[in-house]
């Protein structure tokens, strides 16, 4: 056995400096890059900073006027917090959260340089972003609890709590990434499940009951204590992040970037759908049924029933709908149910998306595009109708027309979204004076969401 | 030097590697062969730590090969299917950076000359053809210390002269005591370089 040779480890700071120097020199040579449009981020900072200052001034100048609240509102807020935390954890673990692109992995991190030191600035940046976003969500929570503009001290405490929780979540995700991402993902699912259970419990609590409340100052202290401990552990664990861990989320990150750059959410949604199906168990090969239309209907219904996570999503959306019925004014329930029906119909519409996006598949299946589209709308319609029937008690007393419109409208939105043509970047642009707005591009992008908004508006009108 | 024992990798219920095992000594070359989808790339990814096997182990010099250990990274040079490039760094700067990341004084000129990249040293990767980018990726293995070379279909996108160079270069690597593990569909390259084969999907 040969003993491994001792290696000279270059300092991470030196390597980072060298990379930055070379890239600066290259940009200067080409007279291109971020330096040429420095005023754009400056303008964004100016505008957003102004909005933030105005908001803070309003909060600090306002009188405390909390509205009387039933105990279930606090429980529901906790439920929303748990669901949000679970989703953030899942998303962070899907992306990394420590992430290195293929170039950095091959040309920098494959070296003997201290990997932990190379990744520390990224961890600090991730924690800082999480703190800012968490503070914003915390402030939003304060506004919801107060029912109006909250006293500024309360808003600050809620923001501090939100920031602490967000930093703790990101740091915990890094610790799991370096150890067992599977356990982290399971915890994320557990948090979402706990949130839904808490929402159900909130529905059962009598409105006159007294539920002990936790002071926000205590919550903030606990959140930041957890955040600091987890951050220190995560910082130490950076050194064990290997190429597999650092590259696991790079496909998803590239899809997020491409979807943002080309204003094409389909690029991201397609990848997410592919990942869902990859995680599914292998389907049992069964014989088809009938010919042509019957065979296509049968296979699409089978695909809908096999869709990974569809049942969980359906149950979760039922809880959301019944919760909305318990706490929202009656007129607001049907629009919420309509959006939820769209979500479940969209989840089981993989077959429709496959035939509308692939001309080769349509050619292979034969028949007209219209007939193929109609046949692949049947399974989402059946699923949406069954789900709507399950949510019917939450809608009572209901307008029959509104109820019938829910599954039909949901499937119509799915069809509009699935048949959206690829973005036309050369389409008409309207110069507003504050910048050019690509009107046609916007019209194409809102093709499905606009109909969903219309459906919600119709539901609102029918409920009044 | 390299021992792969009982490697299992499955995606969902699909078993891609089912207990693969072999060993490779210094100065020897092993070719991983098999049809498409047999798991050649997956095997190489598991060996270099770009993917984690579900079971089994990869040992280098009797110790677990852990990609997070700088000593393993110093020993293993690899070019798989996931090589990316910095769009704003030139060919020469890529190689210079990699040499520095390995703590060695950059001496990229001989490697650039050997791979026919001399005239392209100041170009950025976006200005290269796919074959030239492949040569740049392969060059990354030769500007740094190495004891084990892991290559996934290194002959891909190389012309006839490039393939002759590849065979000659891998022979020189073996002569210098470096172990070579590569996947290939090119029977001539396998015949010329490999001392042993690891057959998958048979």
Within an 8 Å CB–CB cutoff, is residue A285 touching chain B?
no
Sheet strand arrangement including B63-64? B14-24, B2-11, B55-60, B63-64
Check residue A90 and give its pLDDT.
Answer: 92
Lowest-confidence region among A129-133, A147-151, A211-215, A259-263: A147-151
Q: Are residues A241 and A300 in the same domain?
A: no
Check residue A44 and give its pLDDT.
Answer: 65
Within an 8 Å CB–CB cutoff, is residue B89 touching chain A?
yes
The CA distance from B139 to B123, in Å, is 15
Q: Are residues A200 and A72 in the same domain?
A: yes
Q: Are residues A212 and A343 in the same domain?
A: no
Predicted ipTM > 0.95: no
What digits encode the pLDDT tens for the residues A344-357?
999 999 899 989 88
The answer to whether A107 contacts B49, with C-beta atoms less than 8 Å apart, is no
Q: Are residues A244 and A293 in the same domain?
A: no
β-sheet bridge partners, residue B22: B4
Q: Are residues A208 and A294 in the same domain?
A: no
Q: Are residues A240 and A338 in the same domain?
A: no
The answer to whether A242 contacts B66, with C-beta atoms less than 8 Å apart, is yes
What is the phi/psi pair of residue A106, to 5°?
A: -80, -40
**pLDDT > 90 fraction of chain A, expressed in percent and rounded:** 31
Q: Are residues A193 and A320 in the same domain?
A: no
Q: Are residues A305 and A450 in the same domain?
A: yes
- Residue of B63, B74, B84 with shortest CB distance to A101: B84
In a domain, A52, yes or no: no
Q: Which tops the pLDDT comparison, A158 or A125? A: A125
Q: Which tops the pLDDT comparison, B1 or A435? A: B1
Check residue A65 and give its pLDDT.
Answer: 42
Does B2-199 carry CATH code 3.40.47.10? Answer: no
The answer to whether B83 contacts A106, with C-beta atoms less than 8 Å apart, is yes
Lowest-confidence region among A38-42, A124-128, A304-308, A333-337: A38-42
Q: Tell me which DSSP letter residue A332 carries.
A: H
Q: Are residues A167 and A298 in the same domain?
A: no
Q: Taking CB atoms and an 8 Å cutoff, what residues of chain B touch A101?
A: 84
Q: Are residues A298 and A433 in the same domain?
A: yes
In a domain, A36, yes or no: no
For chain B, what is the total number of helices (H) and then of strands (E)?
7, 9
The answer to whether A242 contacts B83, with C-beta atoms less than 8 Å apart, is no
In a domain, A281, yes or no: no
Within an 8 Å CB–CB cutoff, is residue B75 touching chain A?
yes
Angle B71-B98-B163 from CA coordinates, rounded to 5°: 100
Q: Are residues A209 and A105 in the same domain?
A: yes
SS3 track for A192-217: HHHHHHHHHHHHHCCCCCCCCCCCHH
What is the number of domains present in chain A?
Answer: 2
Nearest residue on chain A to B15, alpha-carbon basis: A282
Q: Which domain holds residue A231?
A: 61-248
What digits encode the pLDDT tens for the residues B64-111?
999 988 889 999 999 998 899 998 899 999 999 999 888 888 888 999
Chain A closest CA to B41's CA: distance in Å? 14
Q: Taking CB atoms and an 8 Å cutoff, what residues of chain A touch B2?
A: none
In a domain, A49, yes or no: no
- Residue of B1, B12, B45 with shortest CB distance to A279: B12
């Amino acid at each position: 056995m040969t003993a491994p040779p001792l290696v000279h480890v270059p300092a991470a700071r030196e390597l980072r400096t060298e990379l930055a120097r070379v890239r600066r020199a290259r940009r200067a040579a080409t007279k291109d890059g971020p330096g040429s449009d420095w005023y754009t981020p400056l303008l964004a900072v100016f505008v957003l900073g102004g909005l933030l200052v105005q908001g803070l001034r309003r909060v600090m100048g306002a009188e405390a006027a909390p509205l009387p609240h039933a105990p279930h509102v606090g429980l529901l807020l906790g439920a929303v917090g748990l669901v949000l935390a679970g989703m953030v954890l899942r998303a962070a673990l899907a992306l990394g959260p420590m992430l290195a692109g293929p170039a950095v992995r091959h040309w920098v991190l494959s070296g003997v340089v201290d990997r932990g030191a190379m990744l520390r600035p990224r961890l600090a940046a991730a924690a800082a972003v999480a703190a800012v976003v968490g503070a914003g969500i915390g402030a939003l929570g304060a506004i919801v609890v107060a029912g109006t503009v909250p006293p500024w001290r309360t808003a600050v405490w809620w923001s501090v709590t939100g920031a602490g929780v967000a930093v703790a979540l990101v740091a915990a995700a890094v610790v799991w990434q370096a150890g067992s991402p599977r356990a982290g993902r399971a915890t994320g699912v557990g948090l979402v499940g706990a949130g839904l259970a808490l929402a159900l419990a909130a529905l059962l609590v009598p409105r006159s009951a007294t539920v002990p409340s936790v002071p926000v100052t205590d919550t903030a202290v606990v959140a930041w204590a957890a955040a600091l401990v987890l951050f220190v552990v995560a910082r130490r664990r950076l050194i064990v992040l290997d190429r597999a861990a650092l590259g696991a989320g790079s496909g998803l990150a590239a899809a997020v970037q491409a979807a943002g750059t080309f204003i094409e959410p389909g690029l991201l949604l397609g990848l997410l759908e592919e990942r869902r199906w990859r995680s599914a168990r292998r389907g049992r090969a069964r014989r088809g049924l009938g010919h042509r239309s019957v065979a296509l209907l049968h296979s699409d219904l089978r695909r809908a029933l096999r869709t990974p996570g569809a049942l969980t999503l359906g149950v979760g959306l039922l809880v959301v709908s019944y919760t909305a019925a318990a706490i929202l004014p009656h007129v607001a329930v049907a629009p919420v149910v309509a959006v939820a029906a769209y979500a479940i119909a969209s989840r089981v519409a993989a077959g429709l998306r496959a035939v509308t996006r692939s001309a080769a598949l349509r050619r292979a299946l034969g028949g007209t595009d219209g007939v193929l589209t109609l046949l692949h709308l049947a399974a989402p319609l059946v699923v949406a109708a069954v789900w709507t029937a399950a949510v019917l008690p939450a809608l009572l007393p209901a307008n029959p027309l509104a109820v019938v419109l829910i599954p039909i409208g949901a499937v119509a939105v799915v069809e509009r979204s699935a048949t959206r043509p690829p973005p036309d970047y050369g389409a008409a642009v309207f110069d507003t004076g504050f910048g050019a707005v690509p009107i046609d591009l916007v019209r194409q992008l809102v093709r499905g969401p606009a109909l969903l908004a219309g459906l919600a508006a119709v539901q609102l009108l029918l409920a009044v | 030097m390299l021992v792969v024992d009982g490697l299992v990798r499955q995606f969902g219920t699909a078993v891609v590697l089912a207990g693969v095992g072999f060993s490779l000594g210094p100065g020897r070359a092993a070719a991983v062969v098999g049809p498409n989808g047999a798991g050649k790339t997956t095997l190489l990814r598991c060996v270099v730590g770009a993917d984690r096997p579900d079971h089994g182990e990869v040992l280098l010099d009797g110790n677990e090969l852990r990609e997070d250990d700088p000593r393993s990274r110093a020993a293993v040079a690899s070019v798989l299917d996931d090589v990316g490039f910095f769009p704003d760094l030139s060919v020469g700067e890529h190689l210079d950076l990699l040499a520095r990341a390995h703590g060695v004084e950059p001496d990229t000129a001989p490697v650039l000359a050997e791979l026919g990249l001399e005239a392209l040293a100041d170009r950025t990767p976006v200005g290269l053809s796919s074959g030239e980018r492949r040569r740049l990726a392969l060059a990354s293995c030769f500007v740094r210390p190495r004891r084990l070379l892991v290559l996934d279909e290194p002959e891909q996108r190389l012309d006839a002269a490039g393939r002759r160079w590849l065979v000659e270069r891998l022979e020189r690597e073996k002569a210098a005591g470096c172990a070579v593990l590569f996947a290939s569909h090119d029977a001539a390259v396998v015949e010329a370089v490999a001392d042993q084969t690891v057959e998958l999907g048979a």
